Amino acid sequence: MIKHHPTFELIQSYVNGDLPASLSAGISIHAEMCPKCQQHISQLTEQIAAVSFEEDSFDIEYFEESSFEENSFEQLAEAGDFKLNIDEMVSNITQSKDITQVVSSTEKCISFNNKKYTLPRALNNMQLDKPVNIGKLSRARIQLSENEIHTSLLKINPGGGVPQHTHNGFELTLLLDGSFHDEQGEYHKGDFIMLDGSHQHNPVSDQGCLCFTVANGALHFTQGINKLLNPIGSFIY
Which position among 10, 11, 15, 34 is part of the footprint of Zn ion (CB under 5 A)? 34
Over its C-alpha atoms, the chain yields an Rg (Å, rounded) of 24
Query: CB of 206: closest distance to other proteins in angstroms?
Result: 32
For residues 165 and 19, give the distance between their C-alpha atoms in angstroms, rounded to a whole number: 26
Taking the complex as a whole, how short is the minimal distance between the CB of residue 18 and other proteins, in angstroms?
8
Residue among 4 and 150 whose Cβ is closer to Zn ion? 4
- Find, among 143, 202, 204, the residue nearest to 171 by Cα: 202
Picking from 85, 90, 237, the residue whose alpha carbon sits closest to that of residue 173 is: 237
CA dihedral 73, 75, 81, 83 (to 10 degrees): 40
Nearest CB to Zn ion, comparing residues 73 and 170: 170
Query: Applying CB under 8 A, does 39 fall inside the site for other proteins?
Result: yes
Stretches 50-58, 130-138, 158-166, 191-199: which one binds other proteins (CB under 8 A)? 50-58
Q: Is 127 in the site for other proteins (CB under 8 A)?
A: yes
CB of 29 to Zn ion, least distance (A): 11
Whether 19 and 27 have beta carbons less than 8 Å apart is answered as yes
Window contacting other proteins (CB under 8 A); options: 14-22, 165-173, 191-199, 212-220: 14-22
Partner touching 51 among other proteins, Zn ion, none, CB below 5 to 8 Å by kind: other proteins
Q: Distance (Å, rounded) from C-alpha 147 to C-alpha 216? A: 9
Among residues 112 and 212, whose Cβ is nearest to Zn ion? 212
Our finding on whether 174 is near Zn ion (CB under 5 A) is no
Dist CA 17 CA 81 (whole Å): 26
Residue 224 interacting with other proteins (CB under 8 A): no
Among 78, 86, 159, 196, binds other proteins (CB under 8 A): 86
Q: Closest separation between CB of residue 57 and other proteins, Å? A: 11
Is the CB of residue 212 less than 8 Å from the CB of residue 189? Answer: no
Query: Would you give the distance in Å from CA 236 to the centre of its chain?
Result: 19
Residue count of the chain, please give it.
Answer: 237
Closest by Cα among 116, 131, 146 to 236: 131
To which H or E segment does residue 235 belong?
helix 233-236
Among residues 15 and 110, whose Cβ is nearest to other proteins? 15
Instruction: Say whether residue 65 binds other proteins (CB under 8 A).
Output: no
* Interface with other proteins (CB under 8 A), residue from 24, 200, 202, 222: 24
Among positions 11, 37, 174, 210, the unique one binding Zn ion when judged by CB under 5 A: 37
